[in-house]
Amino acid sequence: MADTLPPQQTVNGLTINADLSQGPFYIDGQDTTPKLFRLRCQTLGDRTAMREKTFGIWRSFSWNDYFTHAKHLGLGLVSMGLERGEVVSILSEDRKEWMYTDMGVQCVGGICSGVYTTDSAAQLQYLVNDSQSRFLIVENDEQLDKFLQVRDEMPGLVKVIVLDRDGLHGFSDPQIMFIEDLYEKGRAYDAEHPGAFDAAIDATQPEDTAILVYTSGTTGKPKGAMTSHGNLMYSIAAGLRDSPVYPTDDQLCFLPLCHILERVFSVNAPIAAGSTINFAESPETIFDNLQEVSPQTFVAVPRLWEKIYSQVAIRIGDATATQKWAYGQALKAGMARAECEAEGRPVPLSTQLAYRFWDMALLHNLRRMIGMDRLRRGGSGAAPISPDLLRWYHAIGVPVLEGYGMTESSGVISINNADDNKIGTVGPALPGAQIRIADDGEVQYKAGNVFQGYWNNPEKTAETFTEDGWLRTGDVGTIDNEGFLKITGRLKDIIITAGGKNVTPAEIENKLKFSPYISDVVVIGDKRKFLTCLVMIDQENVEKFAQDRRVPFSNYASLCAAKEVQDLIRETIEEVNKDFARVEQIKDFRLIDVLLTADDDELTPTMKLKRSFVETKHAALINQMY
């Protein structure tokens, strides 16, 4: 096989295609994730692949553990009749078994599809039926209950495997088994058919579908994006070329693995790089887990970066005058240095010295406090992030780089990298990839990680591609003279007011979101006389605001109702209005006074408001304004 390999290059310890515009894509001579996974497990053996915290103690699991469990899980499913090209669904929070399932299923030629733990029983039913899954893996009794509620409506499902036995001792059902029993079946199958697992891995091809990622589907039913081994290999090879991850790196996994961003970064990247994954205990403990793990490389959504910043800002607000002064000085030195670097100018000696001093005196401690003292590169994606926030991170010595991608592009389209970073853009296209801007402003994309199409949905697939085969991202953007992409909004979200004016709501929304008091906002005005918006406030910062100004409030609703809070949001909106023409100005607003959680329809798993759901669910609130 070695002699048929296209020309290779070795970058940051990985051997990848020299020309990334042409597939098949190889990493260390392997063209599919299962093959690369096997190679890594063989060479890394007893080194730590992942850590999970149980009862307060971080426990390590080696690459050997990873391989053995994936093998027994995969073969166990095969022994019960899993065929190549069939989908296995998993409904679980992030944990090691999620990855065992992902790899186990892919190694035996299956397709792994994740279901969000926040999905309802009805959604689970739709996803299982749509993907024609015959096997479903559920985390615990809570998730099992969802299956039990709709089991009669899922006739194709053969077996449900439960990971966690707590609360289910003494429970038995012919259609349900526990993971240990599945491992046992796999072990027996392996003993009877030695070499079957290796043969299955060898049989995987770059053009085989590896994973199915359901897009949230703000309109209509969710669609399963088919992502091939080749797609993922390209995303990883092209992504790691300029944004390296090393075998000594620790990573923290906290977004749902069903989401393409976390999937690629936490499953596929470590398999290529040999780095260690640490699972955050829960969404509530991310900040503690960050401190404990102190990752070298960390990818998160803007909301999390904002939260970390808010925590620091709140602490500084309560500091003594001397401390505030020192923080101001340190930040000034950091900003000066970051500015020189951003413009590609050499950093003057005085700036360097000032930064060194403040780094030692203050910034280093600050980084340790937020668990970023070892961080080499932070990434932000899945939503636009405020340029000011990025500048702040650069100033304190935490390089956070914005990237852009979507499910249909296997997670990545463009990334800013450390040597080539332009704040306010989402970076240049991946090496080997092409981006063009269509006449209507839409960003269109062509590269090795453009997905294969939607599962059983040729019409929707056709809609996603142009006639000449480019991926339609649905986003509107521009490319500057250096090839950096800037995203301005969503094509289908464009509002046409009653006066016939076209408005890109994302432009206004993003400006508003950069306020620390506004967590998310939806601009409304399609076929209406003027623009209005619904605002979701940032609980922590607005509470702090109310506390500092002694605005009494009891619960979240009364916080939203407080006159001072309403005024605060009004002022923020008026400030942003100044940047826009009259017709694009927000005339009125309402606050969403219920604290939304990921369980609510209006929020995506990455905690963004879903326009269409918000518009229907809060129609009464909207109508008050017109």
Partner 1 sequence: MSTQTSTDAGTAAPKVVLQIDNLESYYGPIMAIRGVSLKVHEGQIVTVLGANGAGKTTLLKTVSGVMDPEKGTVNMMGADIQTMEADAIVRRGIVHVPEGREIFPLMTVAENIAMGAFTRNDKGAIAADEEMVYSYFPILKERRSQRAGTLSGGQQQMLAIGRGLMAQPKLMLLDEPSLGLSPLLTQEIFEIIVRLNKEQKVTMMLVEQNAKVALDAADYGYVMELGRIVMNDRAEVLAASKDIQEFYLGVSQDENQRGQRRWKQRKTWR
| Part of the chain binding partner 1 (CB under 8 A), chosen from 245-253, 424-432, 526-534, 548-556 | 548-556
For the chain, count helices (H), then strands (E): 23, 27
Q: Long-range contact list for 474-483, CB < 8 A, 24+ apart?
A: 474/442, 475/442, 475/443, 476/440, 476/441, 476/442, 476/443, 476/504, 477/437, 477/441, 477/443, 478/437, 478/441, 479/435, 479/437, 480/422, 480/425, 482/422, 482/428, 483/428, 483/429
- Cα–Cα distance measured from residue 296 to residue 47, given in angstroms and rounded to the nearest whole number: 18
Q: Which of 29, 45, 499, 552 binds partner 1 (CB under 8 A)?
A: 552
Does 567 engage in binding with partner 1 (CB under 8 A)? no
Closest distance to partner 1 from the beta carbon of 288 (Å): 14
Choose between 479 and 595: whose C-beta lies nearer to partner 1. 595
Tokens of 605: 């798993």
Question: Contact 586/529 with Cβ under 8 angstroms?
Answer: no
- Cα–Cα distance measured from residue 277 to residue 57, given in angstroms and rounded to the nearest whole number: 15
Q: Which of 126, 392, 445, 556 binds partner 1 (CB under 8 A)?
A: 556
End-to-end CA distance of the chain: 68
Does 550 engage in binding with partner 1 (CB under 8 A)? yes
Q: Which of 562, 569, 576, 603 binds partner 1 (CB under 8 A)?
A: 562
Closest distance to partner 1 from the beta carbon of 142 (Å): 4
Pairing of strands 377-380, 400-404: parallel
Choose between 480 and 548: whose C-beta lies nearer to partner 1. 548
Choose between 283 and 441: whose C-beta lies nearer to partner 1. 283
Give the largest CA-CA distance in the chain: 75
Does 148 engage in binding with partner 1 (CB under 8 A)? yes
- Cα–Cα distance measured from residue 507 to residue 111, given in angstroms and rounded to the nearest whole number: 38
Alpha-carbon distances, residue 166 vs 144, 171, 178 (angstroms): 12, 10, 11
> How far does Cα 322 stand from its chain's mean position?
39
**Half-sphere exposure of residue 270, counting CA atoms within 13 Å on the CB side?**
32
428 cis-preceded (ω within 30 degrees of 0): no
Does 463 engage in binding with partner 1 (CB under 8 A)? no
Does 366 engage in binding with partner 1 (CB under 8 A)? no
Closest distance to partner 1 from the beta carbon of 426 (Å): 33
Closest distance to partner 1 from the beta carbon of 165 (Å): 11
Q: Which of 58, 178, 357, 553 binds partner 1 (CB under 8 A)?
A: 553
Closest distance to partner 1 from the beta carbon of 173 (Å): 9
**Half-sphere exposure of residue 82, counting CA atoms within 13 Å on the CB side?**
32
Q: Which of 180, 594, 624, 626 binds partner 1 (CB under 8 A)?
A: 594
| Part of the chain binding partner 1 (CB under 8 A), chosen from 98-106, 470-478, 487-495, 589-597 | 589-597
Q: Which of 292, 339, 543, 588 binds partner 1 (CB under 8 A)?
A: 543
Q: Which of 166, 343, 439, 440 binds partner 1 (CB under 8 A)?
A: 166
Does 623 engage in binding with partner 1 (CB under 8 A)? no
Choose between 299 and 565: whose C-beta lies nearer to partner 1. 565
Helical residues (DSSP H) of 153-203, grouped into ranges: 179-192, 196-203
Closest distance to partner 1 from the beta carbon of 253 (Å): 21
Tokens 């349900």, residue located:
176
Closest distance to partner 1 from the beta carbon of 543 (Å): 6
Closest distance to partner 1 from the beta carbon of 592 (Å): 12
Tokens 């360097």, residue located:
352
Question: Contact 494/525 with Cβ under 8 angstroms?
Answer: no
How many positions of this chain bind partner 1 (CB under 8 A)?
A: 27
Choose between 443 and 546: whose C-beta lies nearer to partner 1. 546
Scored b (16 or more CB within 10 A) or e, 88-101 reads bbbbbbbbbbbbbb
Q: How many residues are present in the chain?
A: 626
- Cα–Cα distance measured from residue 430 to residue 235, given in angstroms and rounded to the nearest whole number: 8
Closest distance to partner 1 from the beta carbon of 262 (Å): 21
Choose between 328 and 552: whose C-beta lies nearer to partner 1. 552
Does 171 engage in binding with partner 1 (CB under 8 A)? yes
Q: Which of 149, 216, 457, 566 binds partner 1 (CB under 8 A)?
A: 149
Q: Which of 45, 81, 167, 348 binds partner 1 (CB under 8 A)?
A: 167
Choose between 6 and 167: whose C-beta lies nearer to partner 1. 167
Residues that bind partner 1 (CB under 8 A): 140-142, 144-145, 148-149, 151, 166-167, 171, 543, 546-547, 550-556, 558, 562, 594-595, 597, 599
